Structure 1
Amino acid sequence: MPWKELSVMDEKLMFVADCLRGEEPMTVLCERYGISRETGYVWKRRYEADGVAGLQERSRAPHRHGLATPAALVVRIIEARRRKPYWGPKKLLAILAAEAPSAAWPSASTVADILRREGLSEPRRRRRRALSVEQPFAAVAAANDAWCIDFKGWFRTGDGKRCDPLTVTDAFSRYLLGLRIVAPVTEAVAPVMERLFRDYGLPKVIRSDNGPPFASTGAGGLTRLSARWAKMGIGLERIHPGQPQQNGRHERMHGTLKAEACVRPAATPAEQQSRFDGFRHEFNDERPHEALGQRQPRQFYVPSPRPYSERVDEPCYGSDEAVRRVRSSGEIKWRGSMVFISEALIGETVGIREREDGHWLVRFAEVPVVLVDRTTGKAARFGAGRPPRAKPAHEPQPD
C-alpha cells in the first residue's frame, strides 16, 4: 500500500485535534509538530473562531503601507495627467509642486507607478539595441586606401532650387574625386559612384557617416548602396554618430568648399555646378595643402590598381558556411524557421557559420549582419562597424 503524503492543512488539523483532546501540554505538541508555541496558540485560536476556514493561509501583506501616497494626492496626480495626457511624471510633479508646495508629493517613479496602475500610461517599447562591432579604421598609407564620402549641407540656389553637393575625396592625397549636385538617394548616388569607380578604379574602403543612403540602422548598417559596395569587395567604415572629426580631412575640405563656393549661392543649379567644377580644379591642381608640404593633391594621387567591372560576382563564403539567398521579405529559411535579415539584402546570398559558443553568425560578404541564437532561434542584428572609442585618460594620482 503506497504511503500517503500529508498536506500542510492535514498537519494543522491533526495538531488542532491533539490540542483539543488536552492529553498533552502545548509545549510537547508544538515540539512534535515542529512549530513554535506562538504558532500553536494562533492555530488553536483561529480554529475555535472560524473552524477549518480559519486554518487557511492568509496574506501577510500589511493592510495599509506606511509610505503609501495619500488618496488626496493620488486624485490630484490623476487629474493633472488627464489635463496633460502627454506629460510625464517629472513634468506633472513640477506643476503640482508649484500649485501645492507644502504637500508631500511622491517621487517621479511612484507617480509613474500610479499612472500605470490607473491605466493612464503604457511602458515604452524598448528598442532592441544592435550588437556592436569594433572595426578600427584601416591605415591610410597610399592613394585609394580609403575614400571619404559625404553630402555637404544643402542650401538653395537663387531660384529656390535645393542643392545637395555630394563630395568624394581620397584620404591619402586629399584629391577631390567628385563634387556633384545629387539628390541624397540611392538611385541618384549610385550612378555617380559607378562613374568614379570606372574612372579611378576601386578603393580599399569607403568611409562615411551614418546617414542614408550610405548607412542605416538595419543589420550591419547596410543600405542597398553600401551592400553593393561590400559585394564589390570594398570595405565599409562608419564614423561614430556626432563625431565628424573622425572624418576630419573630409570635413576640412567642406569648410573650404563652403567659404569659397557656397556662401553666396549661384542663381541656378547649373551655374552652381559650374562653380563647383571650378573649385574642384583649383583644389586639386592649384591650391597648396599644408598637410602635403604645400603641394597639390594631383602630385600625390594615382588611380587604383583595382579595376572596375560591370559584372559583380556573388560573395565567396567558406566551406564551413551554409549559403542562403535572402527572400523578397528580407528573410532566409534557417533550421526550419524564417529569420529576418535585411531588406537591403533582398536577392543577395549570405553565409552562415556556427561560432564556438553555438550561435550562428550570418554575414554578407565581409559584413556581419545578424547573430541567430542557438536556443531561441531569434536574430539579433549587428550595428555598423565603427572604430573603438577612445578610453579616457586616467587622472593623475596624488603623491
Structure 2
Amino acid sequence: MNSIIRLNSLMRCGRPIFTYFKVKGWGWYYLSTVIDDYSRYIIHWELCSSMTSDDVSRTIDKAIEKARVTFQNPPCLLSDNGPYYIASSLKQYLCKEYNIKHIHGKPLHPQTQGKIERYHRSMKNVIKLNHYFCPSELENAIDGWVKYYNERRFHESLDNLTPRDVYLGQGEKIKKIRETIKQNSIKKKNF
C-alpha cells in the first residue's frame, strides 16, 4: 500500500493564500509543511522567505530524507492547486527524482486538505499569540509547537494516541497497555 504524504501551504477554496507569519522588521515568512496522512505526524516543516516550487522541492527532499522513504513502494503526494504545486517543474522533479505520484485536491474543496488545514489552524492559534522580531524566534516557536503536536498532543481521531505513536507503529502496543491498566483498575475496585 502506498503511503500518502500531504503537503500544503494553506490554500482555501483555490485562492493563493499561504500560511504566513509576519516577522517585525523582516516581513512575511511562509510555512511549508509535510504531514503523514495516516498518522498526522509532521514529517518536516520549513519556514521560507518565498513560496516557489523550489521551496516546495526542498521541503519534500528533506521530508523524504527524514522519513527514510524507500522507493520500492513510493509515497503519493497530495497537495492543493496552488501555483507552486501545479508548476510543471515540480511535477517533472517529483517524477524524475522520486517516481512520486502527485495528486491534486479537487478545486474549491478544502475538505480534501482537512488534516493539514486543521493542523495549521491549531498551530496558528498558539503561534500568533506572540510577536516575533527575527525569523529564528518564529522558527523556535514553530519547532516547539511541532514537538508538542507530534509527541504530546493526543488526538481523539487517533484513539487518543499521539501522531508519533501512530507514525512509529506503537499504537496497538499502547492501547493494549492501557486496556491492561483499565482491567487491573476495575479488578481492584471490585474488591
TM-score band by shorter chain is 0.7 to 0.9
Quote the residue 2:60 is aligned against: 193
Contact 2:154 / 2:161 at 8 angstroms: preserved in 1?
A: yes
Q: Which of these residues, 92, 105, 110, is aligned with residue 227 of structure 1?
A: 92
1-side partners of 2:41 and 2:35: how far apart?
5
Quote the residue 2:5 is aligned against: 147
Deviation at 1:263, TM superposition (A): 4.2
Quote the residue 1:285 is aligned against: 151
Cα distance per residue 1:78-121 (max 9 Å; x no partner): xxxxxxxxxxxxxxxxxxxxxxxxxxxxxxxxxxxxxxxxxxxx
Contact 1:286 / 1:296 at 8 angstroms: preserved in 2?
A: yes
Cα distance per residue 1:316-370 (max 9 Å; x no partner): xxxxxxxxxxxxxxxxxxxxxxxxxxxxxxxxxxxxxxxxxxxxxxxxxxxxxxx
Quote the residue 2:162 is aligned against: 296
Quick one: which amino acid aligns to residue 93 of structure 2?
R
Deviation at 1:236, TM superposition (A): 1.1
Runs of 4 or more above 4 Å deviation: none
2-side partners of 1:261 and 1:226: how far apart?
32
Q: Which of these residues, 120, 143, 154, is aligned with residue 254 of structure 1?
A: 120
TM-score under structure 2 length normalisation: 0.74
Quote the residue 1:169 is aligned against: 35
1:268 equivalent in alignment to 2:131? no
Name the count of aligned residue pairs: 155
2-side partners of 1:178 and 1:163: how far apart?
16
Deviation at 1:205, TM superposition (A): 0.4
Deviation at 1:148, TM superposition (A): 0.6
CA change 1:214–1:201 in 2 (3 A) is farther
Q: How large is the RMSD of aligned CA atoms in angstroms?
A: 1.9
Deviation at 1:256, TM superposition (A): 0.5
With CA pairs under 8 Å and 6+ residues apart, which has the higher RCO, 1 or 2?
A: 2
Cα distance per residue 1:127-185 (max 9 Å; x no partner): xxxxxxxxxxxxxxx7x710111114223112242110111100000001112102211
Contact 2:34 / 2:59 at 8 angstroms: preserved in 1?
A: no
Contact 1:168 / 1:179 at 8 angstroms: preserved in 2?
A: yes
Question: What pairs with 1:208-247 in structure 2 (closer than 5 Å)?
Answer: 208-216=79-87, 223-231=88-96, 232-247=98-113
Deviation at 1:247, TM superposition (A): 1.4
Quote the residue 2:187 is aligned against: none
Quote the residue 2:77 is aligned against: 206
Deviation at 1:267, TM superposition (A): 1.8
2-side partners of 1:159 and 1:188: how far apart?
22
Deviation at 1:254, TM superposition (A): 1.2
1:184 equivalent in alignment to 2:46? no
Question: What pairs with 1:291-330 in structure 2 (closer than 5 Å)?
Answer: 291-302=157-168
Deviation at 1:262, TM superposition (A): 2.6
Match of 2:5, SS state, is strand
Structure 2 segments unaligned to the other structure (5+ residues): 11-18, 170-191
1-side partners of 2:131 and 2:9: how far apart?
16
Match of 1:162, SS state, is strand
2-side partners of 1:242 and 1:266: how far apart?
33
2-side partners of 1:207 and 1:264: how far apart?
31
Question: What pairs with 1:1-399 in structure 2 (closer than 5 Å)?
Answer: 145-152=3-10, 153-182=19-48, 183-202=50-69, 203-216=74-87, 223-231=88-96, 232-302=98-168
Contact 2:41 / 2:164 at 8 angstroms: preserved in 1?
A: yes
Bigger CA drift: 264-273 or 172-181?
264-273
TM-score under structure 1 length normalisation: 0.37
2-side partners of 1:287 and 1:266: how far apart?
24
CA change 1:289–1:184 in 2 (3 A) is same
Percent identity over the alignment?
25
Cα distance per residue 1:295-336 (max 9 Å; x no partner): 101111149xxxxxxxxxxxxxxxxxxxxxxxxxxxxxxxxx
Quick one: which amino acid aligns to residue 9 of structure 2?
F
1-side partners of 2:150 and 2:136: how far apart?
21
2-side partners of 1:249 and 1:191: how far apart?
22
Bigger CA drift: 228-237 or 164-173?
228-237
Quote the residue 2:175 is aligned against: none
